[in-house]
Copies of this chain bind each other. A is one copy, B any other.
Amino acid sequence: MSIKIAIIGCGFWSSFQTAAWKEFPAEVDVVACCDPDIDKARALATRFDIPHVYGDAKSLFLNHTLDAVDIISDVDSHAPLSRLAADHSVQIICQKPLAPDLKTATEMVSYAASKGVSLYVHENFRWQAPIRRLKQILDQNLIGRPFKGHLKFCSSFPVYDNQPFLAELEQFILTDVGTHILDVARFLFGEASALACQTQRINPKIKGEDVANVFMVMGQGLHCYAEMSYASLWEHESFPETYILVEGEHGSVYLGPHAEISVTTQDGTDRESVKVKWFSWADPEYSWIHSSVYSCNKNILAGLLKNGQVETTGDDNLRTLQLVFDAYESARTCKMMQYP
């Protein structure tokens, strides 16, 4: 028996998550989609053969008995929509960032729990195949205890073209990209014990910060530097790749351009190109980003079907969000945040 899912929010990104759900025809039935801009909902429904279309979420819940909703709408709508879902005992999958502030996000997670409803976050960066492979290499102890990490997501990609609302956000790159990158840092290295951050706005046409640099102590004392920027003009445009260098007591691992990983030890350097599952709906230029949507959905599906552990639960994601919002606080106060 398949589970019934509805999509709420039918903008640019929803097509990838919907396409990914369609990869599980035996387990998932996308029964409806919903957007205040009904034309967007209709377009998504047409493209993915979704039988029902709604302009408001209340009608959606009135007309369907759902197992889960996948909320892919603007951040401000996440809290009311997830509350509505919880009130209807419908499990929640929510786009990142969960909420515009930590308090709201915490309330969302608590409210879902109080209603006995699971809340999962569609946090997909940690599901990118090259990042999974890098984690595997660390776990295999090939380079010994890692003591330093450097994550870099810097480009001059005009991200505002596809998602114009990003230019209007008062808080931009930390909430948009920082949620991903700091989550990857936690995934790779464990929890943070200290954090310092600085932000800047370089592009004069946007409202929020487009440069953020976060310096953390993580896990068993590893130093982590996470660089994010949409104002970085390089020789080789790197969007949407995350470059990651990890140094250990006996070597280093580097995830660089084109999903290539090199592992250096005293014995020399091994290089591999990480294979990425290919989907017809994925843009070849973004194949491992789009492929990570599939892997993220697959992991969440295990939770929905009660046959596996979900990594990106609401509870887990609150720890990532704490780092994100503390990063703003650190930048504002010029202080190092500590987590005893």
Min CB distance A193 to B, Å, is 8
Contacts of A254 in B (CB 8 A): 235
Min CB distance A328 to B, Å, is 15
Contacts of A334 in B (CB 8 A): 194, 217, 336, 338
With A247-B229, A247-B232, A251-B233 in contact, do A336 and B338 touch (Cβ < 8 Å)? no
Which stretch, A129-137, A260-268, A308-316, touches the partner chain B? A260-268
Q: Out of B147, B200, B227, B336, name the residue touching A221 (CB < 8 Å).
A: B200
Whether, in the assembled complex, A58 has its beta carbon less than 8 Å from a beta carbon of chain B, the answer is no
Count of chain copies = 2
Min CB distance A169 to B, Å, is 20
Instruction: For the complex, give the distance between the alpha carbons of A136 and B230 in Å.
Output: 26
With A225-B215, A338-B334 in contact, do A269 and B235 touch (Cβ < 8 Å)? yes
Closest B residue to A333 by CB, please name it: B336
With A211-B223, A225-B215, A249-B231 in contact, do A202 and B147 touch (Cβ < 8 Å)? yes
Contacts of A269 in B (CB 8 A): 235
Counting from the closest, the 6 A-B pairs by CB-CB distance are A215-B215, A196-B196, A235-B269, A336-B336, A235-B264, A213-B223
Binding site for B on A (CB under 8 A): 143, 147-148, 150, 154, 194, 196, 198, 200, 202, 211, 213, 215, 217, 221, 223, 225, 227, 229, 231-235, 247, 249-252, 254, 262, 264-266, 269, 330, 334-336, 338
